[in-house]
């Protein structure tokens, strides 16, 4: 991946592929100092890095893709799984070696891991200079000044009001076609396995007008797709601060429609939905607008009602299945993806089989599957014993992955012979003579380049497939 920034991540999002592009990033020659950032974890972290880049650029820092020439190195971190934290620690150790060669370099940790492990970072004197939580990015310039004096600079305070609504993000690693737009921060759900409520705080929705304005500006700048982001987008609810205002409260369904109405040429996606909160109003809004993609990420986490109760997911297996049925009733053929965890506390073979049978029922187009990793400070860590061995967790995970591979291939094969509308995102990774993009259902499609260009909408007839890619040829509408 060619870019102005190096980004390491497990985010499964094709919009991150392609050559570097950002109409907002300025030349390095305009800045006296340079910064380098790596982001890990969810799409929200990528969106946060774009906010950080904007703040730094406004305060005299330019971007570099080479950490060795940077004056400031930042890692935007994730605490969802132990592996992500281990990866960040390894990178910090590597940067410590770089600091020995150039003592003037500042190294900072941002995001969820910064908030959760602030005490440990402060105790390890030579590892980091700055520790900045998700709600404290505005204070970065002052924290940098403090760190330059040799002091540890820390701000991990949570803020019930911060949404960064007035900051125009700089599009890192953008292909100029797809962009993330954060619509809310935090989470109120308190799932027992999750650290997000503790690291990102309570839910607060961003000003709807600022969201619409950002999406309009992106479309004007040539972007053709926006993904509205939040830990639980269906909880979005914004009310004008001025009680005398004639503006009405905006729900997520209303926000979706407002963004879709910017232009029929602007595709709209969103992530993530909590099953308990996605409404018929949202589903009917998707069905009503051709440019809102027929694709929903609906994390289930387990197929066992008993385990779901321990996870504090607030729905049962039967309730979730009814929601999937409702989605497919209102939006026939809607693409569906999920998250699944194997080996949660007390999970039995029977519980695992219930998860497998749910996978068989839903036949997800895409699934993100993990074995349970206990996170210190979560409700599960305090209440339950992590009593499933790692070997069993991994065995169950492999069984789930193997089953999903079958479903994924079947999903691809069902599209053979169909014609789908593809938004071109760039040149195929395997051949300069081919283009790649995504369908309405979020499937990667590859086809001969011909005279088409990045950002075009192309009708493509699907002729064949692999487990992860549809292969076709362009056809006239």
- CA dist., res. 186 & res. 200, Å (int): 5
Measured CA distances, 282 to 247, 360, 408 (Å):
20, 26, 26
Q: Which two tokens stand for residue 322?
A: 């009814």
Closest to 51 measured CA to CA, from 71, 79, 74? 74
- CA dist., res. 215 & res. 217, Å (int): 5
Question: How many helices (H) and strands (E) would you count in the chain?
Answer: 14, 21
Secondary structure (3-state) at 48: helix
Measured CA distances, 37 to 71, 163, 268 (Å):
11, 21, 27
Tell me what pLDDT residue 53 has: 94
459, 476 contact by CB (below 8 A): yes
| Topology match between the domains 14-155 and 419-474 | no
Measured CA distances, 51 to 46, 76, 131, 190, 333 (Å):
9, 11, 17, 26, 36
Closest to 134 measured CA to CA, from 160, 157, 152? 157
Tell me what pLDDT residue 20 has: 29
80, 41 contact by CB (below 8 A): yes
Closest to 164 measured CA to CA, from 37, 270, 51? 51
Q: What is the pTM of this model?
A: 0.88
- CA dist., res. 129 & res. 294, Å (int): 45
Phi, then psi, of 51 in degrees rounded to 5: -70, -45
- CA dist., res. 351 & res. 412, Å (int): 29
Given the structure tokens 């086809």, which residue do they identify? Answer: 447
Tell me if the domain spanning 419-474 has CATH number 2.40.50.140: yes
DSSP conformational letter for 65? S
Closest to 304 measured CA to CA, from 345, 352, 340? 352
DSSP conformational letter for 259? H
Q: Are strands 153-155 and 178-182 parallel, antiparallel or unpaired?
A: unpaired
Sequential pLDDT tens for the chain (477 residues): 222 333 333 333 333 322 223 334 455 657 789 999 998 888 888 899 999 999 999 999 998 888 999 999 999 988 777 777 788 888 988 998 888 888 889 999 998 888 777 777 766 657 889 999 999 999 999 999 999 998 889 999 989 899 999 999 998 778 999 999 999 999 999 999 998 888 888 999 999 999 999 999 999 999 999 999 999 999 999 998 766 567 789 999 999 999 999 999 999 999 999 999 999 999 999 999 999 999 999 999 999 999 999 999 999 999 999 999 999 999 999 999 999 999 999 999 999 999 999 999 999 999 999 999 998 889 999 999 999 999 999 999 999 999 999 999 999 999 999 999 999 999 999 999 999 999 999 999 999 999 999 999 999 999 999 989 999 999 975
Structural domain spans, the chain = 14-155, 178-413, 419-474
Tell me what pLDDT residue 86 has: 82
- CA dist., res. 111 & res. 132, Å (int): 7
Cα radius of gyration rounded to whole Å, the chain: 22
Task: Tell me which fold the domain 178-413 belongs to.
Answer: pyruvate-formate lyase- activating enzyme (3.80.30)
DSSP conformational letter for 454? T
Tell me if the domain spanning 14-155 has CATH number 3.30.2030.30: no
Measured CA distances, 54 to 60, 61, 141, 388 (Å):
10, 9, 12, 44
**By 3-state DSSP, what share of the chain in percent is helix, strand and coil, each rounded to 5?**
35, 20, 45
218, 226 contact by CB (below 8 A): yes
Tell me what pLDDT residue 476 has: 78
- CA dist., res. 148 & res. 61, Å (int): 15
Q: Which two tokens stand for residue 430?
A: 């395997």
């Amino acid at each position: 991946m060619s870019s102005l920034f190096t980004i390491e991540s497990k985010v499964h999002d094709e919009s991150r592929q392609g050559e570097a592009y950002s109409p907002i990033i300025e030349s390095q020659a305009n800045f006296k100092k340079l910064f380098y950032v790596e982001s890990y974890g969810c799409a929200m972290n990528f969106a946060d890095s774009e906010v950080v880049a904007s703040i730094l650029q406004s305060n005299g820092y330019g971007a570099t893709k080479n950490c060795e020439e940077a004056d400031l190195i930042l890692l935007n971190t994730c605490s969802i799984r132990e592996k992500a934290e281990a990866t960040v620690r390894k990178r910090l150790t590597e940067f410590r070696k770089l600091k020995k060669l150039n003592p003037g370099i500042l190294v900072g940790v941002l995001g969820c891991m910064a908030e959760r492990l602030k005490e440990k970072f402060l105790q390890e004197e030579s590892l980091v200079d700055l520790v900045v939580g998700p709600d404290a990015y505005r204070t970065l310039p002052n924290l940098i000044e403090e760190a330059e004096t040799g002091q540890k600079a820390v701000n991990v305070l949570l803020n019930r009001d911060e949404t960064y609504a007035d900051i125009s993000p700089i599009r890192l690693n953008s292909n100029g076609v797809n962009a993330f737009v954060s619509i809310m921060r935090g989470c109120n759900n308190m799932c027992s396995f999750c650290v997000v409520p503790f690291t990102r705080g309570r839910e607060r929705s961003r000003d709807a007008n600022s969201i619409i304005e950002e999406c309009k500006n992106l479309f004007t700048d040539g972007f053709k797709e926006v993904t509205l982001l939040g830990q639980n987008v269906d909880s979005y609810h914004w009310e004008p601060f001025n009680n005398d205002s004639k503006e009405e409260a905006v729900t997520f369904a209303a926000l979706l429609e407002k963004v879709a109405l910017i232009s029929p040429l602007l595709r709209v996606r969103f992530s993530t939905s909590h099953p308990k909160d996605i409404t018929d109003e949202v589903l009917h809004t998707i069905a009503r607008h051709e440019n809102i993609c027929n694709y929903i990420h609906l994390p289930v986490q387990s197929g066992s009602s008993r385990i779901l109760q321990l996870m504090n997911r607030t729905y049962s297996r039967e309730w979730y299945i009814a929601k999937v049925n409702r989605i497919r009733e209102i939006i026939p053929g809607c693409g569906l993806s999920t998250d699944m965890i194997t080996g949660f506390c007390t999970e039995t073979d029977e519980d695992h089989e219930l998860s497998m049978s749910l996978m068989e029922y839903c036949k997800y187009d895409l699934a993100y599957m993990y074995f349970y990793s206990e996170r210190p400070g979560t409700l599960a860590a305090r209440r339950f014993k992590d009593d499933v061995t790692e070997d069993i967790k991994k065995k169950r995970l492999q069984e789930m992955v193997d089953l999903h591979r079958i479903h994924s291939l079947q999903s691809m094969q069902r599209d053979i012979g169909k014609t789908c509308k593809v938004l071109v995102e760039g040149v195929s990774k395997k051949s300069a003579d081919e283009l790649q993009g995504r369908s309405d259902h979020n499937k990667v499609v590859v086809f001969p380049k011909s005279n088409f260009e990045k950002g075009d909408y192309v009708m493509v007839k699907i002729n064949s497939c692999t487990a992860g890619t549809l292969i076709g040829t362009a056809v006239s509408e």
